[in-house]
Structure 1
Amino acid sequence: MKKLIYFFLFFCYFFNANAQTASINNADKKYDNYAYADAIKAYENLVKKGVKEERIFQRLGNSYYFIGELEEALNYYQELFNLNENQEAEYMYKYAQCLKSIGSYRKADEVLEKFSQKVPLDKRAVLFLKNKNYLEDIKANSGRFDIADAGVNSKDSDYGSTILDNKLVFTSARDTGVIIKKNFKWTNKAISTLYTVELNPDGSIEKPVLFHKKNLKVNLNQSTPVFTKDGQTMYFTRNNSVDGKRRQNENNITFLKLYKAVLIDNEWKEVKELPFNSDEYSVAHPALSTDGKTLYFASDMPGTLGLSDIFKVSIAADGTFGTPENLGPEINTEGRETFPFISDENELYFASDGRPGLGGLDIYVSKINKEGLFDEVQNVGEPINSMQDDFAFIINSKNRNGFFSSNRVNGQGLDDIYRFTENRRLICEQQLSGTITDQETNEILSNVSLVLFDEAGKSAVETKSDANGNYVFSNVRCGKKYFIKTSKEDYLFKEVSVTLKKATGSTSLQIALEKKPKPIVRAMPVVIKGNSIKPVKVNITIGTDLVKLLNIPMNFFDLGKATIKKESEPKLQKIVDMLKQYPTIKIDIRSHTDSRSSSESNQILSDKRAQSSKSWLEQRGIDGSRLTAKGYGETQLVNNCADGVKCTEKEHQQNRRSEFIITSM
């Protein structure tokens, strides 16, 4: 009888174990297929039955995170870290983001500290460690917008708007009126499609209606359109489909793709997918450059740095496309970057959860300069950004009105569209000015060349002091450290630094220059033994450079190194011979670099080279008391090839030099 009972108990245990394994496998399949809403239900059923495994809490947290329900995600991440604090870095980062969603910034920063220790090279860690006072910076950028409900929202998800002919075109998952309703398995909510609404001059709006449903299939998930300036071409996001039918890859996963449509006889026709789409990754949320020649979009295609990156691709005059380019680490992180928008002032607005922010996706902006490079990325602040997901920002650069989307609390639906007016520009600029004088006499110095550049050696701007010795750098960004390099004939090169306040205004910086020391004119006849048949007799004075006197090439070192090249040693031997022939001569060895690389590293390199040259002479019998050595880095350039100035290799070569200056005879 006992054997029968034991067998029965074992059978029940075996059956339950198999059933549990099957339930976990079923939940995993839904999760792996991006069916997060269904995966949540399956995993939560397991949790209710008492199953507590790290992997289940990891995936529950991720599932809620990816559908934007951060507070629910927080519950499961907390359960996860209660089970085991030693989690992979990615869970630590998402945990911190979710803590921000309830305003727990101190705890979030503690988690981010641990995250940064675990993956110090991660861009998100670098950004956090570089700016631990990010909340203060966000506060300084806040209060610049008046926002309100856009008046088009439903109880479902409404987001991703754009303007076409004074109409707002937006994405909505509201009831389309069809009998058979289809759901988007990512969220298990109704699929989204495009709606439009008239924007009246008095600020009122009409009732939203479907946007051209005849050719834009309402049975497919489609969103985030953008239009060319003539209104004749539209790019938009849609489920991967063929002939109006959803298409899946071999793993039964349907990704997002970008499509193009043309307006013909007031109908959107010739709907075609773009050539860089794929069945294996998503391409979504298009934006156009101001000239319409570049298309920006979000994707997780190969080459992506994080979960999704922002890319750009050129559009040729014949409508063909170039090769997509990742915008790189200046914009993208290991997190999510998405929903790009280019303003008429050539600013890139985008959403990211990979940068220091208020929680979830925040909206950031970066100016695209004339060279196509990105200026500093800034958080646009509250009330545009919140503790939840904020994204899909668009702005009219003329009237400073616009729209953005958010799933913040107290909204009408899952995502809502908000309108705004910007009442104060984000750009904070100062005027940096001052007077150049002689350090000894206080005489005003005119026609002094000045070059301004930032810590990265970029954004170089040149100017000259006027007849009154005054200089001005206008429109300099606030809150940053800058360097000014000066040059004037008969004066030593000088570099000064200044950190500007984080407020619009002006900063004064006076600069005093030191005159170059005049050599003592006392001639001494010496005999130069060169390649000529007879030795040449010349007069030398204090200040004579033996390198020039002996016609020796100025550069004795390989690029970036401080060891004298073997091929340079026979030429330097001329200096040894001369110092031995005239034992009363003393020299100062001066090493210089060009402006490439940072000023700090250039100073270190030149110091090493000067000392290396001194040691080389000592090893060949020259008394060290006759030698002094100093590196000058890039502080004494012989031309205008400062940071940010385009120069030829030959011009840079002129600055990479060694000097052996006579100081005593």
Structure 2
Amino acid sequence: MNKLKHLCLAALVSVSAMAQTPVRETLLQQANRQFDTQAYAKAIALYQDVIDDGLLPANQRQMTFLNMGYAYLQLGDSERAASFYQQALAEKGLSGGLTTHYLHYAKVLANLGQMQESQRYFERYQAEKQQEGRQMQSAQTYTKKRITYRLDYLGINTSDAEFSPMYYKNGLVYLSGKTSVSSESTQKGYLDLFYIPNRDEIKATTTLHSDGTETSGKEANRPTASASKSSRLGSDAYTRPTSNDSRTLGSYNSYGLNSEAATSTGEVAKPGKPVSFSKELNTRFHEGPATFSADGSRIIFTRNNFNEGQKGMSEDNNIKLKLYTAQWGNGDWTNVQELGFNSDEYSTAHPALSKDGNLLYFVSDMPKGMGGKDIYVSRWENEQWSKPINMGKELNTRQDEVFPFVDEVGNLYFSTSGRKGGLGGLDLYYAVLSKDGTKVIEVIHLDAPINSKADDFGIVTDGARTTGYFSSNRREGDDDIYRFTRESSLYECRELLLRVFDAETMQRLDSATIAIRSKIGGESTEKTLQTDADGWAHLCLASDNDFIFTVSKEGFVDNTVGFSTHHLTDDKPTRLELSLAHPVVLQTMVSQNENPQKKKTSLTDSLQNLKHSRVRGIVRTETDRQPIEGVLVRLRNECDKKIYETITGPDGKYDFEILEGCDYTLIYSKDTYGTNTLKIARVPKKTAPKVLSNDVGLLKKGDIVQLDNIYHDQGKRTISPDAARELDKLVATMKRYPSLQAEILSHTDSRGEANRNKTVSQNRAQEIVNYMVAKGVARKRLKATGMGESMPVNGCVDGVICTEAEYRRNRRTEFKVVEIR
């Protein structure tokens, strides 16, 4: 399963071996740099300048048009994206790492409603990926890593049917069925909704670990159900079974939906135990899978065609399933109404609302479908649900598609037995949808252990599948609810596009050899591959691993660089560029004195001996201010765009000569450290040479920096003016390091109850995060963590009397670097 099919290119990691060689950036190179740092609007403007000025080389036309198409896609302008993709693909077909653009173009076309053309390019993308997979099977096989999950069999399961879980507030709503009195009885059971107010309190009786081992929880015995064995819809005393009335369209039970411990049914919820959902909603007929609005004020649920005490019958004398809606008020669900597209002649069931509540996905066997039961979508327009649209053959098959669910990023999950490659019975899939949520771009099968040889259905999870719940009858043939927790990266491998080029001419190098070294499964491995005619190599790297690439080609000096897939927080492919330089004859370098900037000048030179000004300084760690060895320092002359480089020694020092009358930019970089950039204002012409001092600090992953003046009064969490000024500096740091992800650690002193201190510190950290978000820092880059009194900086712990100043030292805030590049 290739989970990267719908993903896009990410930031460029440029590793160059130019060592003191000046390189002038062309306008096209500036555009590429802006594109690779995801500054898409700036990149488009520069690309357009290149095109308008007639500076676009013929061999760069396709790549430039592809980049512009992708940039417009990211900015939400599908029409312009389509125009540039069309021009790019008119040049020639795509190969190597560029084939992903077929998928991007398919998405653009889907956004424009051109589904037939979108499908054609998606199929072309799939064909290219399959061909590419055959060509690089060895490289990809040794680098792939399986996604692993832990499964919990839950204590809420009984000898009856439990299935179709759904999140509601902090709890879990699900279905359970009542068992008949005896197998001979003519009285059959019905399904109702049940509710556990706090899903964190649900215990596991057994756990299946990713290594295949199983452990038992404290609740070793399955509880006795107050509800009994469920039966198929239509097998009750009122109806006969039909092809429409089966478990795949659900049978249902009711769990209380009150946020209080006492539910609307009057039952008091015990920790981790279910209660009946609602007196108003549960009837003597089937109540089925439900969905809730984001604020919890509205429910849409499934029920047999029964309302206001009356049964609705179809022309063939069957009771079908219908969708109903209700509003929360006065301690229970009220104003129960049918949805307008229901019918007595066919079933509608299994509702799933999108995050914004504007789209409703559901299952129906209405006429003119694709086969059995299909998934449809309706839009909330003019205070009513629109006419349903079939999700089409890209999703629906001749078999049943049932139990849809939409996560917060818009992935549509469902179950079916109608697709090739399933493990058996109903299997769980998810569909990547177009921007408007009504068209299917791709359908992806979920791997084991979520899927099994039995029926697996009714999933609810988050966008990254960090954790969630689903239903399965894999154990003793009963429908039960399982909890899953992902224990590895969501992605089997990290897609890497690697380009090799000539450091002097910037031309791509074909047939360069790339040796890849790593440890897979604790064993050292080494593989090799070669770049294609355009200088590209394409592979997938195992997540949570470290790699070393050595690139070689006859007539060039080898280049070695490390690459890590640890702590990568997105799902986007990475583009890595490696330059190869020709061997340099030392005598030639010594004899070239024409350029005064290549002449070494001692740091002890007096001002009287300087012909030009100089900039020099020391690169230190941000935390303890120690010199850093091995930092690549680059100086860019903003007048002629020439770049000069040096590497710091053990003393962390660097030294450059600069020309009066030009602005300069200093760029400091080193593996595992964040790249820092400083601007140097020009030294006026016709002035005496000066020595400019620019010491700089670098942050690295794991650094913890205490923020000055971020102290709190005891028990309070407000931000003082002094603290705000300090936080503004931190905001500036976050903006200077676009890749920086940080954790705000807040500490209290030891006075007061430990749990309360933990809560207070969490609130303080959250207030700081909220302040920084309001100042323009993306929330996903920040994490608030309350440490409470757990980490004092002095001996002021419980039972020790300290001065107010000593207590105040412990009421501090720290800034931890979680990720930086």
Shorter-chain TM-score: what band?
0.3 to 0.5
TM-score, length-normalised on structure 2? 0.36
Structure exhibiting the larger radius of gyration computed from Cα positions: 1
**Bigger relative contact order, structure 1 or 2 (CA pairs below 8 A, ≥6 apart):** 2
TM-score, length-normalised on structure 1? 0.44
| Greater helix fraction, Structure 1 or Structure 2 | 1
